Amino acid sequence: MLRIAICCGEGFASGFLSRHLAESTVKEQLQEKVSFIFIPFFQLYDRQDEVDIAMLMPHIEPMAKSDTREYRIPLYIIPFKVVIMPPAADYLSDAEYIMELTGGKGGLFYFPGEDHTAFVKRLSSRRKWEASQ
Protein backbone atom coordinates (compact mmCIF):
# COMPACT_ATOMS: atom_id res chain seq x y z
CA MET A 1 0.00 0.00 0.00
CA LEU A 2 1.26 3.44 -0.94
CA ARG A 3 0.80 6.05 1.80
CA ILE A 4 0.44 9.60 0.47
CA ALA A 5 0.46 12.79 2.53
CA ILE A 6 -1.42 15.78 1.14
CA CYS A 7 0.14 18.94 2.57
CA CYS A 8 -0.37 22.68 2.69
CA GLY A 9 0.15 25.45 5.19
CA GLU A 10 -2.81 25.48 7.55
CA GLY A 11 -4.88 22.62 6.20
CA PHE A 12 -7.90 24.17 4.54
CA ALA A 13 -7.06 23.25 0.93
CA SER A 14 -5.13 20.07 1.69
CA GLY A 15 -7.70 18.92 4.24
CA PHE A 16 -10.44 19.30 1.65
CA LEU A 17 -8.39 17.53 -1.02
CA SER A 18 -7.30 14.67 1.24
CA ARG A 19 -10.95 14.06 2.28
CA HIS A 20 -12.00 14.09 -1.38
CA LEU A 21 -9.23 11.60 -2.25
CA ALA A 22 -10.08 9.33 0.68
CA GLU A 23 -13.72 9.22 -0.48
CA SER A 24 -12.61 8.73 -4.09
CA THR A 25 -10.38 5.84 -2.99
CA VAL A 26 -13.44 4.00 -1.70
CA LYS A 27 -15.54 4.78 -4.80
CA GLU A 28 -12.71 3.63 -7.06
CA GLN A 29 -12.08 0.53 -4.89
CA LEU A 30 -8.44 1.41 -4.30
CA GLN A 31 -8.39 0.93 -0.50
CA GLU A 32 -5.90 -1.95 -0.81
CA LYS A 33 -3.51 0.14 -2.93
CA VAL A 34 -3.41 3.65 -1.50
CA SER A 35 -4.20 5.80 1.52
CA PHE A 36 -4.28 9.59 1.74
CA ILE A 37 -3.75 11.59 4.90
CA PHE A 38 -3.51 15.29 5.60
CA ILE A 39 -0.29 16.49 7.21
CA PRO A 40 0.39 20.23 7.58
CA PHE A 41 3.66 21.10 5.84
CA PHE A 42 5.16 22.49 9.03
CA GLN A 43 4.75 19.00 10.60
CA LEU A 44 5.86 16.96 7.58
CA TYR A 45 9.55 16.71 8.41
CA ASP A 46 8.82 15.20 11.83
CA ARG A 47 6.04 12.95 10.49
CA GLN A 48 7.61 11.79 7.21
CA ASP A 49 7.95 8.20 8.45
CA GLU A 50 4.14 7.95 8.42
CA VAL A 51 4.03 8.14 4.61
CA ASP A 52 5.91 7.09 1.48
CA ILE A 53 5.53 10.34 -0.46
CA ALA A 54 4.20 13.86 0.16
CA MET A 55 2.18 15.79 -2.38
CA LEU A 56 2.18 19.51 -1.65
CA MET A 57 -0.45 22.02 -2.63
CA PRO A 58 0.94 24.45 -5.21
CA HIS A 59 0.54 27.57 -3.09
CA ILE A 60 3.20 26.36 -0.63
CA GLU A 61 5.82 25.73 -3.32
CA PRO A 62 7.96 28.72 -2.19
CA MET A 63 7.93 27.36 1.37
CA ALA A 64 8.97 23.90 0.15
CA LYS A 65 11.75 25.31 -2.04
CA SER A 66 13.19 27.31 0.84
CA ASP A 67 13.11 24.35 3.25
CA THR A 68 16.75 23.25 3.55
CA ARG A 69 16.12 20.09 5.58
CA GLU A 70 16.88 16.75 3.94
CA TYR A 71 13.73 14.68 3.54
CA ARG A 72 13.82 10.89 3.25
CA ILE A 73 10.65 10.85 1.12
CA PRO A 74 9.92 12.45 -2.25
CA LEU A 75 8.10 15.80 -2.12
CA TYR A 76 5.97 16.62 -5.16
CA ILE A 77 4.31 19.94 -5.88
CA ILE A 78 0.84 19.28 -7.29
CA PRO A 79 0.30 21.44 -10.40
CA PHE A 80 -2.58 23.93 -10.07
CA LYS A 81 -4.77 22.34 -12.74
CA VAL A 82 -4.26 18.81 -11.43
CA VAL A 83 -5.73 19.81 -8.04
CA ILE A 84 -9.24 20.24 -9.47
CA MET A 85 -11.32 17.30 -8.11
CA PRO A 86 -9.04 14.54 -9.37
CA PRO A 87 -9.75 10.83 -9.22
CA ALA A 88 -7.67 9.01 -6.62
CA ALA A 89 -6.34 6.74 -9.39
CA ASP A 90 -4.57 9.72 -10.99
CA TYR A 91 -2.84 10.63 -7.73
CA LEU A 92 -1.90 6.99 -7.18
CA SER A 93 -0.51 6.79 -10.72
CA ASP A 94 1.57 9.94 -10.22
CA ALA A 95 2.84 8.71 -6.84
CA GLU A 96 3.83 5.32 -8.26
CA TYR A 97 5.58 7.02 -11.19
CA ILE A 98 7.43 9.39 -8.86
CA MET A 99 8.52 6.48 -6.67
CA GLU A 100 9.85 4.70 -9.77
CA LEU A 101 11.70 7.75 -11.06
CA THR A 102 13.21 8.69 -7.69
CA GLY A 103 13.78 5.19 -6.35
CA GLY A 104 11.90 6.44 -3.29
CA LYS A 105 14.71 8.85 -2.45
CA GLY A 106 13.79 12.07 -0.69
CA GLY A 107 13.69 15.67 -1.74
CA LEU A 108 11.72 17.94 -4.03
CA PHE A 109 10.72 16.29 -7.32
CA TYR A 110 9.27 17.65 -10.56
CA PHE A 111 8.31 15.72 -13.66
CA PRO A 112 10.44 16.84 -16.61
CA GLY A 113 9.14 20.14 -17.96
CA GLU A 114 6.86 20.75 -14.97
CA ASP A 115 9.16 22.76 -12.75
CA HIS A 116 6.86 25.79 -13.21
CA THR A 117 3.67 24.26 -11.80
CA ALA A 118 1.50 27.27 -12.66
CA PHE A 119 2.04 26.55 -16.36
CA VAL A 120 1.27 22.81 -16.31
CA LYS A 121 -1.76 22.26 -18.53
CA ARG A 122 -2.49 18.56 -18.01
CA LEU A 123 -5.66 17.57 -16.16
CA SER A 124 -4.80 13.92 -15.62
CA SER A 125 -2.00 11.80 -14.25
CA ARG A 126 1.39 12.27 -15.86
CA ARG A 127 1.28 8.75 -17.36
CA LYS A 128 -2.12 9.37 -18.97
CA TRP A 129 -0.87 12.68 -20.31
CA GLU A 130 2.32 11.11 -21.71
CA ALA A 131 0.27 8.35 -23.41
CA SER A 132 -1.88 10.99 -25.12
CA GLN A 133 1.10 12.90 -26.54
Angle between helices 12-27 and 88-102 (to 10 degrees): 100
Give the pTM: 0.93
CA dihedral over 58, 59, 65, 69, signed as positive or negative: negative
Res. 94: pLDDT tops 80? yes
Percent of the chain with pLDDT over 90: 72
107 membership: H or E segment, kind and range: strand 107-109
CA separation for the pair 13, 96 (Å, rounded) = 23
Domains located in the chain, CATH noted: 2-132 (3.40.50.2300)
Alpha-carbon distance 34 to 100, whole Å?
16
Q: Which residues contact 133 (CB under 8 A, 6 or more apart)?
A: none
pLDDT higher than threshold 70 for residue 127: yes
Instruction: State pLDDT tens for residues 18-61.
Output: 888 999 999 999 999 999 999 999 999 999 999 999 999 988 99
| pLDDT bucket at 9, cuts 50 / 70 / 90 | confident
